[in-house]
Structure 1
């Protein structure tokens, strides 16, 4: 199967999965994270700054459009819409995997449109963990990218009919990329989560930014299983850790190692964004929800949605009395259900989060 056909399949199946998930209203681990309401701690909206810093760059808001697609005519148009939305709202944007471009330069335009439509924005290129420094440099050059995402997706590859079966070189390759590139390297999962142990190992490899990308959003095990003739790999449908669980697990290690955490995976609302920020993420990425709006209602609707999210993030910060993103990490958070249980199993006392403001 060609790269173009695979990319089109991914978009089609991701949008269908998001619609099914929204219709089914499945419980989310984010609902196991709640804020303690302190009635007299509200602030003033004019004093709130949602700006954040990632890789030495200032982002006006702690929100970004995360990696999705590219490599075919259809996905090039998806990237065009996403790039226009990023330009009009000021959020950062990441490319989908650029493997198709690295294999066939003829599809360069389906990725380059991210920069053409968003000439002054923060754009992130994306390669897999097998990419050589030369390949990564080509990807960065094509987009004039401000950073490079390196996605790690062993679960997806195992389920993918034509996927890789050898991941042993990934640590060595990631270290080479971190050393050789002139832009920040962000290591990102694709929806199965990154543990504290992995964050520590990545820090040792020279990586300073990690997107935990937990489960609960677009599920590539299900997407790739749907592409298998016999759909015989459903056993991995619930693999991995949720985004809140990953943040709770990894925040202390990341801080000790000087690693900036980003969060994505299953983010449904501006409240989920603020929950992630309170659990230690510096910024939060959204893919499936934004893609579904773009596909269903068009770019104007997506711009309106992102603009509304930015407003709501500011207002939630006002409610919590947090004038900056970093101040959200001192708010009192109640961890319950599975997130609290995972924290305990990993040696973290959930009650500490409920008393942070003291």
Structure 2
């Protein structure tokens, strides 16, 4: 490998390893976020028999066994390749879909391919999402999909992260047209996700016009890439935008009538947050930071155990609420409280949610 290529590979590898280290350091599993402002109204006679409950979800014309997925995390270095291997094993054994981390490293340096392709080699029959950024060309998007034999393609939106990242992009004007080109140029459904700052209703409506199949709102409350990138800056001079963006519940409430299927990710800490996200209209809920901490602490076996427990508890909560399917949760009565209610008032959203007659 030429010296300049070795240098570029080392820079990419170091950055990916930094992201994982800082994500774990910044992860606050017990912290408050706006999911806590979503409260179910308890109806003591609403419960059903657990045998009636099905976790099956419909996503982009495909049936998912569960409305829960392992969201985009990492790849691009030997260390992160090992993490992807463990995530793929956990996805295979638990039956949940899995999204790759950003494959920009592979598109810049094909020698990193195995750190991503392990997702498919360890999980040959699972639902896998490839992942590129909004600067990718159609050819690059196809290469990412082909490498993983992916069932769908995620395009991540991360403008806030990029401006804080010392080596990040500074040009965003072409993102919408590039997304539209990719939608037309690949043979799999395209999902667009934010990386932790949220999708507004206006953005979701725009994505719908571009032909996107699913919008993953990726809201504030979980892994904070502005804080992570600021930790990599000398002087940490972007600390003032730590709280940028909208929370995941806020995004779901605002975009509920935008006419595009939604995923919920960002700040999902436990099974109740999953059920809350589904009740606010998400088709499925993605988890990254919580699952990353688990897999790093105990390997794939620990994550398999955790996912199994989450699925069991999601089903139990649905039983109490009388929801036979994930879609039925959207008809359950919830109260919107606190800062989330303030957001609704500011944005002209009616926070009243009631069961149908």
Scaled to the shorter chain, the TM-score interval is over 0.9
Per-residue Cα deviation, 1:37-94 (whole angstroms, up to 9, x for no partner): 0110101111111100111111100000000000000000000000000000000000
Q: TM-score, normalised by structure 1?
A: 0.96
Q: Does 1:231 align with 2:236?
A: yes
Aligned to 2:276: 275
SS of equivalent to 2:73 = coil
Aligned to 2:317: 316
Match of 1:199 among 198, 204, 226: 204
Per-residue Cα deviation, 1:129-185 (whole angstroms, up to 9, x for no partner): 000110000000000000000000000000000001110000000010111111000
Q: Distance in 2 between matches of 1:155 and 1:356?
A: 38
Asked if the contact 1:52–1:282 (Cα under 8 Å) also holds between the matched residues in 2, the reply is yes
Per-residue Cα deviation, 1:263-286 (whole angstroms, up to 9, x for no partner): 100000000000000000000000
SS of equivalent to 1:26 = coil
Q: Does 1:131 align with 2:136?
A: yes
1:1-358 paired onto structure 2 within 5 Å: 2-18=11-27, 21-22=28-29, 25-253=30-258, 257=259, 259-351=260-352, 353=353, 355-358=354-357
Q: Distance in 2 between matches of 1:293 and 1:208?
A: 30
Q: Distance in 1 between matches of 2:154 and 2:336?
A: 30
SS of equivalent to 2:44 = coil
Q: Distance in 1 between matches of 2:326 and 2:92?
A: 22
Structure 1: unaligned runs, 5 residues or longer = none
SS of equivalent to 1:126 = strand
User: Runs in 1 of length 4+ with deviation above 4 angstroms?
Assistant: none
Q: Distance in 1 between matches of 2:32 and 2:280?
A: 20
SS of equivalent to 2:31 = coil
Q: Distance in 1 between matches of 2:300 and 2:211?
A: 38
SS of equivalent to 1:350 = coil
Q: 1:247 offset after TM fit, Å?
A: 0.3
Q: Distance in 1 between matches of 2:32 and 2:147?
A: 40
Q: Distance in 2 between matches of 1:344 and 1:78?
A: 42
Structure 2: unaligned runs, 5 residues or longer = 1-9
SS of equivalent to 2:264 = strand
Number of aligned residue pairs: 348
SS of equivalent to 1:149 = strand
Per-residue Cα deviation, 1:88-141 (whole angstroms, up to 9, x for no partner): 000000000000000111110000000000000000000000001100000000
Q: 1:299 offset after TM fit, Å?
A: 1.4
Q: Distance in 1 between matches of 2:269 and 2:223?
A: 11
Q: 1:10 offset after TM fit, Å?
A: 0.2
Aligned to 2:5: none
Q: TM-score, normalised by structure 2?
A: 0.96
Asked if the contact 1:332–1:357 (Cα under 8 Å) also holds between the matched residues in 2, the reply is no
Q: 1:214 offset after TM fit, Å?
A: 0.2
SS of equivalent to 1:251 = coil
Q: 1:26 offset after TM fit, Å?
A: 2.8
Per-residue Cα deviation, 1:280-332 (whole angstroms, up to 9, x for no partner): 00000000000001111221111100000010111111010000111111000
Q: Distance in 1 between matches of 2:210 and 2:325?
A: 30
Q: Distance in 2 between matches of 1:181 and 1:297?
A: 37
Q: Distance in 2 between matches of 1:93 and 1:105?
A: 22
Q: Distance in 2 between matches of 1:356 and 1:197?
A: 27
